Amino acid sequence: MPFITITFDKGRSTDKKREVAAAVTDAIVATLGGERDWVTIVFNDVERDDWAIGGRLQIDRKGPLKPGDHG
């Protein structure tokens, strides 16, 4: 079964990662079959000053995150 890497800007809570892991695992099992325990997910939390889109750092595009900006 697949090894899935999910990368997003740092700040997601552990509870939010649990929700994402469950939803992605459900979608993979529903689509490909197999067992839930065969699905591996790794979260990469990236600082906004280490990530650029369109030639601009995320921190410059959206400003710094404040506590609570992510669930």
CA distances (Å), 68 to each of 13, 20, 23, 57, 71, in order? 9, 18, 22, 21, 7
Could you give all domains of the chain from N- to C-terminal order, each with its CATH number?
3-62 (3.30.429.10)
Q: What is the pLDDT of residues 29-61, one digit of tens each?
A: 999 999 999 999 999 999 989 989 899 998 898
Q: Give pTM, 2 decimals.
A: 0.80
- pLDDT, position 62: 76
Instruction: Calculate the average pLDDT of the chain.
Output: 90
Residue for token pair 């280490």? 50
16's tokens: 């939010």
Q: Assess contact for 4 and 41: CB atoms under 8 A.
A: yes
Asked if pLDDT for residue 20 goes beyond 80, the answer is yes
Instruction: Name the percent of the chain lying above pLDDT 90.
Output: 66
